[in-house]
């Protein structure tokens, strides 16, 4: 096998001449900039950025994003200056590269309760979903070459990938990428559990595969007989990480899991989905309670499909998923499907409000425009313009409303810390506890046992948690004062 990375792997037929030129230029530039650099596994560094760009191409991203993928490490790891990128590739690509570089600085240190803030922060500082997607591709390739990384670092990266990256990919409806990230990270994040799964699957795999193939062939025959045109029938084995997660909830009993193998039927339109479901149920007996209509009731991340679990007549069960081509693309690529499908039906964009509920919640989108391009522009994320993200000295992230003070921060950590706030160091500088915090500040609270809330604190707090505790303290105190004066009279 040749090691030469071919530019043709980054280009598709429907790209314009300008697109091809841009990608070619980025390719040549990145290869030159990384000349002489090697990765831990001994490969030329350029291979990493090339593979990152290839993942982006497979996700159907546009030429600018693919180019930014090729260039994503030049600012961080080579002599290249920002001005040079700006001159050669323009503001947009420079913006994307800077975003990816910024995201690279974010680290997850494994504190459960801050995970959600970190996920939000990840999206917030990336400013543009394309940045998030480039970072996903970068991380996926890094995971695939993780065996060459030092063991402790390997574990941290793998856990972070599952907790932050895969989880975000899922929220964005990017099921394929989520599965790929989880499976690449799983053996390093949870080696013992991974081995367990391998062991469980070892003897069953071949019979699973054989059975699902037979079910697929039978269904194909029936569909032809009933003159239902299908685009594809394919089978998949459940990703190992999600299988493990499910097993944990089912007493580790593999017989309680019904979707280890699934058949996916892709048809032309929604009516055909329901017709296929009818045919499936006329051939095989469905398990009661396992028929799910995610077309009428999509999942929160936008996933749409019909699901049913059948007794396969071979002594086992199989899940059958039925959906249209468009649903199929969205199930795999989620929000990236908008970049991928240039002829994406603009009327459908109206439904995006439903599909990407999570983003809507984050951004509080008032309306979604009909043109998918404008929709994406709007996703240039100022999602969080009313939130700020504050770091503890240990690097945990706390998510607070804009204009919060160190008092809010203190109470968000613990009521006891809040109640005894006497001072605060903001970015290592002694500061007033009534200061307004800014995005990205590192805050250390100074406690003194004789420090206590005063009514003035209420004017300088934004969070209801802080206000509640301050009021509690004040009430308790005035009650005590009354009791005291009563006792002395």
Query: Which spans of this chain sit near Mn ion (rule: CB under 5 A)?
Result: 73, 138
In order of 1, 142, 152, 435, 477, the CA distances from 38 in angstroms are 20, 14, 21, 47, 65
How many residues are given for the chain? 489
Q: Which is nearer to Mn ion, 103 or 410 (CB)?
A: 103
Q: Shortest approach of Mn ion to residue 72 CB, angstroms?
A: 6
Q: Give the Cβ contact number of residue 76 at 10 Å.
A: 13
Longest dimension (CA), the chain: 98
Smallest distance, Å, CB 247 to Mn ion?
Answer: 33
Closest approach, Cβ 39 to Mn ion, in A, equals 10
User: Which residue's CB is nearer to Mn ion, number 136 or number 356?
Assistant: 136
Query: Smallest distance from the beta carbon of 410 to Mn ion, in angstroms?
Result: 37
At its nearest, how many Å lie between Mn ion and the CB of residue 6? Answer: 20
Choice between 73 and 211, CB closer to Mn ion:
73
Q: Using CB atoms, what's the residue nearest to Mn ion?
A: 138
- Catalytic (active-site) positions: 76-77
Task: Name which of 138 and 160 has its Cβ closer to Mn ion.
Answer: 138
Measured from the CB atom, the residue of 79 and 206 that comes closer to Mn ion is: 79
Bridge partners, residue 400, by sequence: 388
* Residue 40: CB minimum distance to Mn ion, A: 12
Find the shortest distance in angstroms from Cβ 137 to Mn ion: 9
Q: Are strands 429-431 and 397-401 parallel, antiparallel or unpaired?
A: unpaired
d(CA 451, CA 6): 66
Q: Which is nearer to Mn ion, 30 or 264 (CB)?
A: 30
138 versus 211: smaller Cβ distance to Mn ion: 138
How far does CA 289 lie from the centroid of its chain?
30
Q: Token match 């025959």: residue? A: 221
């Amino acid at each position: 096998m040749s090691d030469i990375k071919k530019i043709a792997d980054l280009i598709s037929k429907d790209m314009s001449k300008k697109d091809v030129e841009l990608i070619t230029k980025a390719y040549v530039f990145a290869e030159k900039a990384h000349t002489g650099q090697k990765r831990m596994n001994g490969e030329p560094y350029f291979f990493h950025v090339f593979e990152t760009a290839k993942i982006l191409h497979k996700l159907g991203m546009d030429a600018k994003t693919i180019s930014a993928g090729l260039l994503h490490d030049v600012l961080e790891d080579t002599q290249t200056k920002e001005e040079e990128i700006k001159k050669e590739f323009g503001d947009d690509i420079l913006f994307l590269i800077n975003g990816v570089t910024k995201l690279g600085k974010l680290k997850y240190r494994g504190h459960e309760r801050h995970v959600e803030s970190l996920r939000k922060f990840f999206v917030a500082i990336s400013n543009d979903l394309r940045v998030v997607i480039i970072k996903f591709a970068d991380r996926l390739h890094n995971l695939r070459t993780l065996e060459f990384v030092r063991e402790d670092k390997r574990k941290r990266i793998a856990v972070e990938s599952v907790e932050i990256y895969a989880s975000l990919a899922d929220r964005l409806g990017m099921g394929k990428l989520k599965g790929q990230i989880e499976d690449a990270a799983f053996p390093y994040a949870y080696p013992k559990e991974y081995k367990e799964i391998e062991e469980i699957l070892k003897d069953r795999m071949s019979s699973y595969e054989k059975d699902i193939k037979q079910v697929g062939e039978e269904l194909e025959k029936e569909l032809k007989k009933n003159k239902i045109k299908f685009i594809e029938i394919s089978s998949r084995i459940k990703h190992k990480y999600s299988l493990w997660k499910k097993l944990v909830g089912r007493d580790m009993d593999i017989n309680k899991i019904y979707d280890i193998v699934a058949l996916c039927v892709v048809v032309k339109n929604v009516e055909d989905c329901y017709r296929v479901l009818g045919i499936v149920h006329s051939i095989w007996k469905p398990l009661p309670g396992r028929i799910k209509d995610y077309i009428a009731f999509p999942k929160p991340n936008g996933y749409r499909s019909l699901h049913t679990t059948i007794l396969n007549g071979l002594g086992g069960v199989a899940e059958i998923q039925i959906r249209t081509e468009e649903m199929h693309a969205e199930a795999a690529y989620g929000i990236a499907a908008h970049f991928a499908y240039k002829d994406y039906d603009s009327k459908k964009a109206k439904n995006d409000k439903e599909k990407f509920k999570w983003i809507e919640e984050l951004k509080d989108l008032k309306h979604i425009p009909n043109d998918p391009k404008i929709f994406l522009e709007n996703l240039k994320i100022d999602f969080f313009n009313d939130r700020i993200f504050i770091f503890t000295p240990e690097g945990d992230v706390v998510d607070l409303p804009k204009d919060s003070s160190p008092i809010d921060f203190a109470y968000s950590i613990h009521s006891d810390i809040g109640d005894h706030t006497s001072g605060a160091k903001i970015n290592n500088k002694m500061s007033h506890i009534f200061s307004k915090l800014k995005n990205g500040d590192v805050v250390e609270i100074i406690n003194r046992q004789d420090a206590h809330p005063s009514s003035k604190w209420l004017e300088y707090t934004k969070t209801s948690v802080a206000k509640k505790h301050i009021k509690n303290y004040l009430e308790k105190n005035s009650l005590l004062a009354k009791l005291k004066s009563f006792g002395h009279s």
